[in-house]
Every structure is written in structure tokens, then in C-alpha cells.
Amino acid sequence: MSLECKVQVFLNNLSEKKADSIRKSLEPDNVDFPEDLSFRIENEGTSLVFIFEGKGNIRTLISTIDEVLEQTQVILKVTS
């Protein structure tokens, strides 16, 4: 039996410009993911939703989430 996990992270109250900056900055990293791991970004009004899904090794999923959130924090600081 394999562990499957889905994590959604909401970034609320973003301007359209900041949301676009985050999306454009993260999209180049969203390629060549391992078969058992996925990441996508969706818009919901003034929010961005990061959706992570992983099967098997939960540590890989946690590391990926951590890396994306660190990158997002840098993007938000640079665009402020």
C-alpha cells in the first residue's frame, strides 16, 4: 500500500501583478517532476493556490513544498 497525499497552500489577497510574478517565476521549475510527484498553480479570485500531490515518499513531497514556499517568499520580498 502506497501513501498518497494532496496539499493545497493558499496565498490570499494578492494583486494581479504579484500573482502573475509568482506564477511566471515558478513555472520554469515546474518541469521534469518525478513520476510520483506533481505541482500546479491555480488562480482563485485574489488568491493563488499551490496544489502538491505525492505518492510514496512523503519526505520528497515535504521538501518540494518547502522549496516552493522559500522561492515564493523571495519573490514576494523582491516585488514589494
Q: Compute and round to an integer the Cα radius of gyration of the chain.
A: 13
Q: Give the bridge partners for 5, in sequence order.
A: 54
Domain that holds residue 51: 4-78
Question: pTM (2 decimals)?
Answer: 0.87
Tell which wins on pLDDT, 10 or 56.
Answer: 10
Q: Where are the beta strands (DSSP E) in the chain?
A: 4-11, 37-44, 47-55
| Total number of domains in the chain | 1
Mean per-residue pLDDT, 12-36: 85
Residue 29 has pLDDT above 70, yes or no: no
Output the domain CATH number for residue 45. Answer: 3.30.310.50
